[in-house]
Amino acid sequence: MTLVSKDILKAAEILKREELVAIPTETVYGLAGNIYSDTAIKKIFEMKKRPFFNPLIVHIHSMEQVMELAVDFPEKAQQLAQAFWPGSLTLILPKKNDVPDLITAGKDTVGIRMPQHELTLELLRNLDFLVAAPSANPFTHISPTKALHVKSYFNGSLEMVLDGGDCENGIESTIIGFENEKAVVYRLGSISLEDITSIIGPVTVKNNKEQAPNAPGMLEKHYAPRTATYLVDDISEFIDQHAGKKIGLLLHSTDHPDYAVTQVNYLSKTGHLKEAASRLYNAMHELDQLDLDMIVAQRLPDHDLGKSINDRLKRATK
């Protein structure tokens, strides 16, 4: 049985043995292992069934640790780090030679972030090595935002989940790299484009790449329930076309007619985008347990965090 506990010292002991621990962050739970242990990192890929071409993100607890990993910390990257760390920002920076290629999928860059979760920051301060921590779910499945989500995926095969409660932001970090000194968003996430551009000005978005992705979350199929999922603009029309089916709806507000469906889950009854993001994956997990024929998600307004939520829903759909 997988242990679910708040015991930081126990988690540190397991990680020091080159085993894995699921750790809480403000975005989603991560599957953590020592970046300098090939044994641990291979276990991450194997447990998740994640392809080795998909790079991992290294988690740090202080700004000074950036230079343990990177040969350069560009001015715009520093501005973003000052604004959003600890928090839901991952920076892609040119890596030092001693950062293992297994972490970076052979690329000359490394993803770095400082999570905003005191339990995990305290754990990181108790380690004399850095950890990589992709989301603690099988590859392409719904990311976990509760300790029990992780346990349901890996019970018995994972030694411990460090229980930090529900994840506050609920979707993954925004990932930003630099090409020819210009900022590029590789993954939309918990920090909106509007917030990013308020700090460093215009950015380019390149968040789809099937071959040799620059960062996690760029593949077309990702974050997906087992149940067939559809992202639609006109809920009524879609339901009419699938009469007789067991349908679960994922809606972002109560501003709608009554629908004759099996289940309705609200991301936010008031249409609040931050609340919607925080509830997204848990709502998907709940619907995925109901033996439905399909999950139908309503497209959100395409601005602010709505862009990030729509991105996740699109990657979850048929």
Neighbours of 46 (CB within 10 A): 11
Q: Which residues of the chain have pLDDT under 50?
A: none
- What proportion of the chain, given as a percentage, has pLDDT over 70? 98
pLDDT in tens, 277-291: 999 999 999 999 999
What does the alpha-carbon distance between residue 298 and residue 250 come to, in Å, rounded to a whole number?
A: 6
Question: Alpha helices, DSSP H only, in the chain?
Answer: 8-16, 38-48, 66-69, 75-84, 101-104, 118-125, 147-154, 193-200, 235-241, 273-288, 305-316
State residue 193's pLDDT score. 97
Q: What is the model's pTM?
A: 0.95
Residue 83, classed as helix, strand or coil, is helix
State residue 194's pLDDT score. 96
Q: Is the dihedral of CA 116, 118, 124, 125 positive or negative?
A: positive
Q: In whole angstroms, how large is the CA radius of gyration of the chain?
A: 19
Proportion of the chain in helix, strand, coil states, percent, rounded to 5: 30, 20, 45
Residues in the chain: 318
State residue 207's pLDDT score. 84
Can you tell me which residue has the tokens 């090409």?
Answer: 179
State residue 258's pLDDT score. 84
What does the alpha-carbon distance between residue 307 and residue 126 come to, in Å, rounded to a whole number?
A: 37
> What are the angstrom distances between the C-alpha of 148 and each of 136, 145, 154, 239, 290?
11, 9, 10, 32, 17
State residue 318's pLDDT score. 62
> What are the angstrom distances between the C-alpha of 15 and each of 41, 144, 169, 196, 260?
11, 20, 26, 34, 49
The distance from CA 77 to its chain's CA centroid, rounded to whole angstroms, is: 20
151, 51 contact by CB (below 8 A): no
What does the alpha-carbon distance between residue 212 and residue 93 come to, in Å, rounded to a whole number?
A: 16
